[in-house]
Structure 1
Amino acid sequence: MELVKATENDIPLIQDLARRSWENAYAEILSAEQMEYMLGTMYSTEEIAGHLQHPHYHYYLIKDGESNSFEGFIGYENAYEDQTTKLHRIYLVPESKGKGFGKKALAFLADKTLEAGDGRIILNVNKFNAARQFYESQGYRIYDEGVFDIGNGFVMDDYLMEFIIHEQ
């Protein structure tokens, strides 16, 4: 597995990987309308381009070295809070799950978090998303929960999770 720093040229690929992943991960959690709304706003070309312009926000494509194909991506923001990196996005296409890509991407994130001078990683995960168990298996723990208004009458009902790197 290889992590490749994404550029603005990769926005269509990120959008395609997000859609493929979301259609699998959220099919039974979100309505089709909410999924389309969220993909349209959170993964618009303007939104991702804005992230790529931000000095602390990074996207990396997850590439399978054997098949030479892109299997997902990770998007995170260093210095989101004091000493804290926020994992905004990590998604894998369904056919690549269970191959260790997620574990390796989280290890990569921990290294990048330490390089940036942060010691904590936080993330939001939908309360009904099976990814929560994956995060817990990697040492993340729930520290809070919240319901977030994302517009258009939709909300995100999430657990807030954290990983303290210096405890490892």
Structure 2
Amino acid sequence: MKLIKATEKDIPLIQDLARRSWENAYAEILSGEQMEYMLSTMYSAEEIAAHLQQPHYHYYLIKNESSHSYDGFIGYENGYEEKTTKLHRIYLVPESKGKGVGKYAITFLKEKVSAYGDRRIILNVNKYNPAGSFYKSQGFSIYDEGVFDIGNGFVMDDYLMEFHIEKQSE
């Protein structure tokens, strides 16, 4: 497995990985209309390009080196709040789940966040998404919940989770 920093040329790949992941992960949770709305707004070429232009927002593709295919991607933003990185996106294609790919990506994220100097990682996860259990297994805990209006009559009903990075002794 290898994480590769994404660039604007990777936008179509990110969009494809997001769609493949979402169609599996959210089929039982979101209506088809809400899924299409969210994919078309949150994963538009313009939206991803705008993220890639921001110096603290990072996308990494997760490459399976043995098959030369992509297992998914991760998108996060350093300095989202004071000493806090926000994990905005981590999505895996269905055939990559249960193979340690998510754990590998979260370990990578924790290392990047620690090197950057942030001490906390936050994320939102749909209350009905089984990924919440995965995050708990990686040391995240729920600190709040919220219902967020995302437009077009749709909302996100999420748990807010956090992970605290321990300071290394000098």
Same fold per superposition (TM over 0.5):
yes
Q: Which residue of structure 2 aligns with residue 61 of structure 1?
A: 61
What letter matches 1:66 in structure 2? Answer: S
Q: Which residue of structure 2 aligns with residue 11 of structure 1?
A: 11
- Unaligned regions of 5+ residues in structure 2, if any? none
Question: CA-atom RMSD, angstroms?
Answer: 1.0
Q: Which residue of structure 1 aligns with residue 150 of structure 2?
A: 150
**Secondary structure of the structure 2 residue equivalent to 1:166:** coil
Deviation for aligned residue 1:45: 0.2
Q: Which residue of structure 2 aligns with residue 102 of structure 1?
A: 102
Structure 1: distance between partners of 2:102 and 2:167: 20
Q: Which residue of structure 1 aligns with residue 91 of structure 2?
A: 91
Q: Which residue of structure 2 aligns with residue 129 of structure 1?
A: 129
**Secondary structure of the structure 1 residue equivalent to 2:29:** coil
Cα 1:167–1:139 shift into 2, 3 Å: farther
Q: Which residue of structure 2 aligns with residue 47 of structure 1?
A: 47
Deviation for aligned residue 1:167: 7.3
What letter matches 1:125 in structure 2? Answer: V
What letter matches 1:144 in structure 2? Answer: D
Structure 2: distance between partners of 1:166 and 1:143: 18
Structure 2: distance between partners of 1:4 and 1:115: 17
Structure 2: distance between partners of 1:5 and 1:140: 24
Structure 1: distance between partners of 2:146 and 2:167: 25
Structure 2: distance between partners of 1:167 and 1:37: 41
Cα shift readout 1:90-112 (whole Å, capped 9, x = no counterpart) = 00000010111100100000011
**Secondary structure of the structure 1 residue equivalent to 2:128:** coil
Q: Which residue of structure 2 aligns with residue 23 of structure 1?
A: 23
Residues 66-77 of structure 1: pairs in structure 2 closer than 5 A: 66-77=66-77
What fraction of aligned residue pairs are identical, expressed as a percent?
Answer: 77
Aligned length: 168
What letter matches 2:163 in structure 1? Answer: F
Q: TM-score, normalised by structure 1?
A: 0.99
Structure 2: distance between partners of 1:99 and 1:63: 13
Structure 2: distance between partners of 1:111 and 1:96: 22
Deviation for aligned residue 1:61: 0.1
- Unaligned regions of 5+ residues in structure 1, if any? none
